[in-house]
Amino acid sequence: MTETGSEPPPMNIGRVEPRLIEREMSESYLTYALSVIHSRALPDVRDGLKPSQRRILVAMNDLRLRPNSKYRKCANIAGTTSGDYHPHGESVIYPTLVRMAQKFSLRYPLVDGQGNFGSIDGDPPAAMRYTEARMNGEATEMMADLDKETVDYQPNYDERLDEPSVLPGRFPQLLCNGSDGIAVGMATSLPPHNLREVCGAIRAVLADATIDANELCKIVTGPDFPTGGIIMGRRGIHQAYTTGRGRSIVRSRYHVEEARGRSGKEQLVFTEIPYQVRKIGIIDKIVEVVKDGRITGISDVRDESDRDGIRLIVELKKNEDPEVIVKQLFQFTPLQTTLSIINLSIVDGQPRTLSLRGMVDAYIRHRKDVLRRRTRFLLRKAEERKHIVEGLRIAVQNIDEVIRIIRASKDTDEAKGALMAAFALSLAQSQAIVDMRLGRLTGLERDKLEAEYEALLAEIADLEDILRRDERVVAMILEDLDDLEAKYGDDRRTEISAEEVDGSFDIEELITEEMMVVTFSRDGYVKRTGLDTYRAQGRGGRGVKGSESKEGDAIRSLFIAGTHDYVLCFSNLGKVYWLKVYQLPEGGRTSKGRAIRNLLELAAGEVIHSVLRVQSFDTERVVVFATKKGTVKKTALEAYSRPKKTGIRAIALEEEDEVVSVALAQPGDTVLIGSAQGRAVRFDEQAARTMGRVSRGVRGMRLKPDDEVVSMIVLPSDADQTGVTLVTACLNGYGKRTLAADYPIKGRGNQGVINIKVTERNGPVVALRSVVDGDDLMFISQSGMIVRTAVDEMRPMGRNTQGVRLVNLKSDDALVGIEAVSAEDLELEARNNSGEGEATEPGTDATTDPIVAQAAAEAVEDEVDTDTDSDGDED
């Protein structure tokens, strides 16, 4: 109601048609989708251009901006394009113009730009009022014969002008420069290729229409990116070329250099990066993965690129493996990318996915159509000229009569009519005669006229022959290809590697190969620590703290292994589990590690009793088991190479029996079993036959009721000749070193010979290990203390002796195990320690080593004494 109380006047809303909203939205969305597909996102297969690109080139052609002309402001080009052909605003047109001028975006740029057109770092171009441009030679090839009715024209947006619906496309734009775009419900990603290879493929198809995809893939070996790089493998390329869709891995090109002025350090130098990846994005990602700890071996990243090319420097920390770091970079940064190939384009008004052969065929069809239309245009022009020349010949032959008729006529129209009536001429011929100059009547001009007539007859015959014979059109295409290749052909920039990768990495490739000390505790805690953490000390020393065991726990086993080695974990239930050393948690010397139950799927009440280091599962070696009750079993190593997450059966055990030792053996070796009461049995490996994985085994040693097996050692066949010795360690820290040759090789199943005198001072035997001169020994106590001593400091003794003090234990501590460090491992440690201070020599004060001294200082509250002690040698 209005203020006066009267009704408001009715609104003139026009015609209203009820419609279902579902139908209206469906039809409107379909119209929008088709508009995006045809008019914005997808290229035409014939000239390989999107509408915006085509209109920019047409506007530049109108402005006569050819390679030999002066540059013109990009604002002028964008304005002309927007005003005449593409009414979407200059800010939309200019980025398209810029991309067509960027040498890192297009393999063969269509625009020759002058000024700042952006950079591979992602820097934006200057404003269009500052930059200038003109067409490149490749763009003029796209325009060739545009004025000869070779393509259809259509009205522009305001029907003021006509624009070509497609360009003649002499240059194979779609194949050479590719295209990318996202339409509604579909996307295209056509990679660029090398012009020489593309021309070769077109020639091959023209020569043999039945050529298969495999032969074509031998000619076009793969995409060729403007930024170079390396494509890993041909499988994805072949799939894309045969089906129209595929995926390939593209890696950066790099080499390794020694860092300038930094001895011992190396740096990775990347000189080519994947296509459409910005260098600044790579740098930011490297910084990110270094900060979050995914890559730890990088000390610096810097960009030394200049106008001559890319030079991205990744400086490594000292002693880092460049191959490992580069694989980590490929895994976590855009230095390696996955290229998705989708050969989608507009074919006959519809989006279609094409194979390589399909794109080549589309180019050939278009060029044949263009050349035939050009030929028909030239033929029409030649026939029109021939018609005129025929009229001029008639006039010259009857010149006196022609002059008389013209002089007698009142005006030009009357003269043309009289000439048409007198000589049966057409209007065009009579017009040409009236326009003819008197100079054409000379003898020389008459000869020229006859020569032109004969040339026109020959030209017409040649053009008609082209239209009749397809091989003539093919020859013209081949001639164009030769010309294009001579003008614009160049060498490949992207390398195709034979190495096939799927974009994922084996985790081992990202792990540096290094030696580790692997520690297992009795309560099932595991860790790995760098071997160089432990340095040599004198015999009898107290050592440094090796593990911060939880209360009531003790170190059970310690061994040396490489990060890529396998660890076979044998449980008290007779099962075996499979791990890699790098899968174990890394911890410091004093850390207790992580419960192995978190790494393995153990059953209730199941614990890991023994572990075995394996570098490879070969067919010659066998696994030898020894149980607490004296049983031994031998099984082929290969039987344990395919375990499950939940473990597999390793040995069948009697009730209340458990595995105490597992070792590898090969033909010719001998097996030595030692008991807690100081007895030892040595027998040939062949004395125990090879059994299946789940068998029980045979008797290895006959034990007294109060005795049990504590260790098993596999000795090589030449142990007696090479001076291999056995170190026996007892609970109270005493023990000795004895030559292996002192232990006779007898049959299995007996009580054996005396190994060491088990006395109240010594306590029962804890473990036996085989060593040679040059090795080191690590002694592990119940409280987690570790003492490392050179074997050379221990002189060999007889079997029937008490031995000497091996390690100085506290009154409430006990020795629980020993482990040998081989001479080879010591050499590796020395290399790891190079440049970080020399290892302490055997027999010297361990506190002179800075690392050990620091550990000692940290362990004051634990009452750890690092002074050596040479107490109590006693035979």
The residues annotated with a catalytic role in the active site are 130
Q: Is 362 in contact with 160 (CB distance < 8 Å)?
A: no
Kindly give, in sequence order, each residue whose CB lies less than 8 Å from that of residue 142, ignoring residues fewer than 6 positions away.
Answer: 47, 49, 57, 110, 167, 168, 169, 170, 171, 173
Strands across the sheet with 336-342, in order? 179-182, 187-190, 336-342, 245-251, 230-232, 495-497
> Could you give the 3-state DSSP secondary structure of residue 558?
strand
Residue that is written with structure tokens 């066998």 in the block:
622
Burial of 16 per CB tally in 10 Å (0-12, 13-18, 19+): exposed
Residues 6 or more apart whose Cβ sits within 8 Å of residue 579: 566, 567, 569, 599, 600
Measured CA to CA in angstroms, residue 858 lies from 193, 300, 553, 844, 861 at distances of: 64, 32, 21, 21, 8
Q: How many CA atoms lie within 13 A of 428 on its CB side?
A: 8
Terminal CA-CA length for the chain:
123
- Torsion-angle region of 64 (φ positive above 0: left; ψ -120 to 50: alpha; else: beta): left
Query: Which DSSP letter does residue 38 get?
Result: I
For the chain, the maximum distance between any two Cα atoms, rounded to a whole number of angstroms, is 154
Number of H helices, E strands in the chain: 19, 41
Q: What burial class does residue 598 get, using C-beta atoms within 10 Å of its C-beta: 0-12 exposed, 13-18 middle, 19+ buried? A: exposed
Contact status, residue 598 vs residue 625, Cβ threshold 8 Å: no
| CA pair distance 403, 498, nearest whole angstrom | 83
Please identify which residue in the block is written with the tokens 């089906």.
243
**In terms of DSSP bridges, do strands 495-497 and 230-232 run parallel, antiparallel, or are they unpaired?**
parallel
User: Token pair of 779, please?
Assistant: 């002694």
CA proximity to 778, closest of 611, 609, 596, 560: 560
Query: Can you tell me the distance from the alpha carbon of 729 to that of 489, in angstroms, rounded to the nearest whole number?
Result: 78
DSSP letter string over 71-103?
-EEHHHHHHHHHHHT--S-HHHHHHHHHHTT-T
Burial class (CB in 10 A: 0-12, 13-18, 19+), 692: exposed
In the DSSP assignment, the letter for residue 44 is B
Instruction: Say if residues 757 and 800 touch (Cβ distance below 8 Å).
Output: yes
CB 265 within 8 A of CB 315: yes
Tell me whether residue 344 is exposed, middle or buried, using C-beta atoms within 10 angstroms of its C-beta: 0 to 12, 13 to 18, 19 or more. Answer: buried
Cα 584 to Cα 492: distance, rounded to the nearest angstrom = 46
Asked if 227 and 250 touch (Cβ cutoff 8 Å), the reply is no
How crowded is the C-beta side of 47, counted as CA atoms within 13 Å?
29
Tokens 């790099």, residue?
254
- Rounded to 10°, the helix 443-468/356-397 angle is 150
**Are the CB atoms for 667 and 687 separated by under 8 Å?**
no
Angstrom distance (rounded) from CA 129 to CA 79: 11
Two structure tokens written together for 829: 């440690």
Question: Within 13 Å of residue 83, how many CA atoms lie on the same side as its CB?
Answer: 9
Q: Are residues 740 and 719 in contact, defined by beta-carbon separation less than 8 angstroms?
A: yes
